[in-house]
Amino acid sequence: MGKEIAISATSLAPGDYTKNISIGGYSSNEVTAHNPKDIQALIHVNECTASVPSCFFTDSAGEFLSNCSGDLVSTNDGGVFQLVNKKTGQITATNPGQFYYNYIWTNDGPAIDVQINFGNPQNLVPQGANAVHAYTFDTSGFTQNVDAFNMVNANGTPCGPAGPCTINVGQGETLWVTWHLAYSRIGQSAPTAGNTCEVANEEIGASAMLLNANDSQIIVAGECSTSANGYNKK
């Protein structure tokens, strides 16, 4: 009769480890070669080679936000936006008017059902009953561009206003998730966000991660957070 032994360990660097295990519950006359009191378990840890997700903000047309120099920002931070205010100080709009959080991950392993989980957005609210869409591409023919962005939003699996959502990602496929968002403080008084791009400090942010849909304790692809900063338009 076998006995299942659970081994708990914190994150381990790649390498070989030995775990000493003491087994209780036997009477003294039951401890034999077949019923040892102490055993050693050898643990081999491989280096993780899974692909790392990327994430970034775009406007509703799929174009990257820009920085203060006017350069497009394709990474997860550095983009800016404007707060458009009345003379009375009330926020009436932003430029761009809406935002899309984008999360892209390529599956280098076998096909897997993943659950897409989102963090609480910062100073943003979902837009629409299906603000989230998820679509998978054959990586060999995948190009990250506006056409692909539009395909995700038009043909992707709808995932409600903020997920979570389960989708199958085949071996060698690339998952693209979009989340349609807008600034949450329209109609409120303008924040102290600076009046020039260089001192923009009204931060917006969003994040997502992928869990194993069959075991939510297993992280398939880690959290990727995106941020941008707004300033008051003169």
Block mean pLDDT (10 aa), the chain, length 234 = 52 55 60 61 52 95 96 96 90 96 97 97 97 96 96 97 96 97 92 85 96 94 96 86
**92 close to 82: Cβ distance less than 8 angstroms:** no
27 Cβ neighbours under 8 A, 6+ residues apart: none
Question: Domain segments of the chain: what residues?
Answer: 1-47, 54-232
Q: Would you state the pLDDT for residue 220?
A: 96
Q: Would you state the pLDDT for residue 11?
A: 43
β-partners of residue 79 are 228
CA 69, 75, 76: angle at the middle one, nearest 5? 110
The tens digit of pLDDT for each residue in 96-144 reads 999 999 999 999 999 999 999 999 999 999 999 999 999 999 999 899 9
**190 close to 82: Cβ distance less than 8 angstroms:** no
Q: How far apart are CA 21 and CA 37, in angstroms?
A: 8
CA dihedral 131, 135, 141, 143 (to 10 degrees): 20
**80 close to 203: Cβ distance less than 8 angstroms:** no
**83 close to 230: Cβ distance less than 8 angstroms:** yes
- Among 51, 173, 177, residue whose Cα is nearest residue 102: 177
Q: Would you state the pLDDT for residue 21?
A: 66
Q: Name the strand (E) or helix (H) holding 175.
A: strand 173-183
Tell me if the domain spanning 54-232 has CATH number 3.30.70: no
DSSP code of residue 119: P
Q: Would you state the pLDDT for residue 193?
A: 73
The tens digit of pLDDT for each residue in 192-205 reads 777 899 999 999 99
Residue 40's identity, in one-letter code, is Q
Q: Would you state the pLDDT for residue 19?
A: 61
For residue 55, how many other CB atoms are within 10 A of its CB? 21
For residue 226, how many other CB atoms are within 10 A of its CB? 27
215 Cβ neighbours under 8 A, 6+ residues apart: none
